[in-house]
């Protein structure tokens, strides 16, 4: 199979979908890999490194997108919609439940779109989302602590405090991968940390993992209201795989927070768990509502692309190899990848995406079977020559 790796074009996105080592593995497996010139520069990987790994360097996005399968990091943006087509397999982060325009573009084009964030193991774990959740979780307290600086609109508070002065309060809503990694860094910075989660079993795990250094609370509106006035920093770390994040902090609740406190909503990719959040970029990462600083950068791991690219590529490679060998067979036979399929031949194949936009969801297995039957029928009625 021919596999394309285009340069990421989202603002301040420096990651690349595969490292030279991953490209080499794809080439050894018998695939041709087209890497757009400069695609790896932001992550510290030169064209020469990709060439030495067996890739063919191509000029321009169109050449990379012409491949049978395209590997990306971030979802296509409007200028890339023209590259979408029916005979394309797209393997990337998508976050469609928060992006109706992209969903419609994929459906119109008939693209087989497999989302990193919804590939799921039988035990519920999300293996391709995990590495970026780890990075984003660890970055969240760092960025939040920075924007607590007075000259950036924050309270002017040092998160870890100093001897004789109390440390800041970090409240983390969601105790999953993002939440636990945010807690690790916040504790390391010397903050007082509280994590809220709906799962009591998860709270038990967090209590054990942190040996009591983190306060745990059941996540519901009452406890969130109690914690908001105390929070110097609020980290949104809520995830419902493939679906839009619920608004657990409403606009009305925002008034409970201290002036100059900071919100870092890592779930902004899926719409955010704070009602007032909106996606921002590294150019203008924050905005202020009701005297509360909001940080909503939707590609936080792009700030540390060398680390992020290597962490992501290591996890996506085994699945990319499966898809490249035979996309339909992989999607039909591998339940992990099947859960990653979001759109196929004009059908929405993920319930969370369909629910977000009031569309009909077609089970992946049914969509794949229907498409294969249609292809067989078309081939049998085609005129011979």
Q: Which residues are catalytic?
A: 95, 269
Q: State how far the Cα of 10 lies from the Cα of 254, in Å rounded to an integer.
A: 30
Task: Name 263's bridge partners.
Answer: 234, 294
Contacts 24+ apart (CB under 8 A), 151-156: 152/286, 152/293, 153/260, 153/286, 153/288, 153/293, 154/260, 154/261, 154/262, 154/293, 155/232, 155/258, 155/259, 155/260, 155/261, 156/260
| Other CB atoms within 10 Å distance of the CB of residue 219 | 22
Which of 371, 333, 330, 332 is CA-nearest to residue 69? 330
Phi, psi of 17 (to 5 degrees): -70, -20
Q: State how far the Cα of 378 lies from the Cα of 372, in Å rounded to an integer.
A: 10
Q: Which 3 state secondary structure label does DSSP give 219?
A: coil
Q: State how far the Cα of 154 lies from the Cα of 13, in Å rounded to an integer.
A: 26
| Other CB atoms within 10 Å distance of the CB of residue 82 | 13
Q: State how far the Cα of 63 lies from the Cα of 7, in Å rounded to an integer.
A: 11
Give one word for 349, left, alpha or beta, with left for phi > 0 and alpha for psi -120 to 50. alpha
Which of 37, 40, 1, 38 is CA-nearest to residue 18? 40
Q: Which 3 state secondary structure label does DSSP give 39?
A: coil
């Amino acid at each position: 199979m021919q596999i394309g790796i285009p340069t990421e074009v989202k603002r301040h996105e420096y990651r690349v979908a595969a490292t030279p080592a991953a490209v080499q593995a794809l080439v050894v497996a018998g695939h041709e890999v087209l890497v757009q010139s400069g695609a790896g520069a932001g992550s510290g990987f030169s064209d020469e490194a990709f060439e030495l790994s067996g890739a063919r360097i191509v000029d321009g996005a169109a050449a990379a997108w012409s491949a049978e399968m395209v590997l990306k990091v971030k979802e296509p943006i409007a200028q890339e919609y023209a590259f979408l087509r029916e005979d394309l397999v797209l393997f990337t982060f998508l976050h469609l439940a928060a992006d109706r325009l992209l969903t419609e573009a994929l459906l119109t084009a008939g693209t087989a779109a497999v989302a990193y964030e919804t590939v799921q193991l039988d035990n519920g774990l999300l293996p391709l989302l995990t590495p970026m959740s780890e990075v984003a979780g660890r970055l969240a307290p760092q960025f939040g602590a920075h924007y607590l600086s007075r000259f950036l609109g924050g309270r002017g508070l040092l998160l870890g405090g100093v001897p004789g002065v109390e440390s800041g309060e970090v409240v983390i809503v969601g105790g999953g991968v993002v939440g636990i990694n945010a807690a690790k860094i916040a504790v390391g910075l010397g903050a007082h940390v509280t994590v809220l989660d709906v799962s009591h079993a998860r709270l038990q795990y967090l209590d054990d993992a942190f040996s009591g250094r983190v306060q745990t609370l059941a996540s519901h509106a009452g406890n969130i209201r109690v914690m908001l006035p105390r929070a110097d920093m609020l980290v949104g770390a809520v995830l419902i795989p493939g679906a839009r994040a619920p608004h657990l902090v409403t606009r009305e609740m925002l008034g409970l927070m201290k002036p100059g406190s900071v919100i870092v909503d890592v779930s902004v990719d899926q719409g955010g768990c704070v009602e007032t959040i909106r996606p921002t970029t590294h150019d203008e990462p924050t905005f202020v509502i009701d005297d509360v600083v909001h940080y909503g950068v939707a590609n936080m791991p792009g700030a540390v692309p060398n680390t992020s690219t290597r962490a992501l590529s290591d996890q996506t490679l085994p699945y990319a190899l499966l898809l490249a060998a035979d996309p339909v067979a992989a999607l039909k036979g591998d339940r992990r990848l099947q859960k990653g399929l979001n759109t196929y031949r004009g059908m929405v194949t993920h319930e969370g995406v369909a629910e977000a936009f009031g569309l009909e969801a077609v089970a992946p297995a049914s969509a794949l079977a229907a498409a294969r039957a249609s292809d067989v029928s078309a081939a049998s009625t085609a005129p011979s020559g």
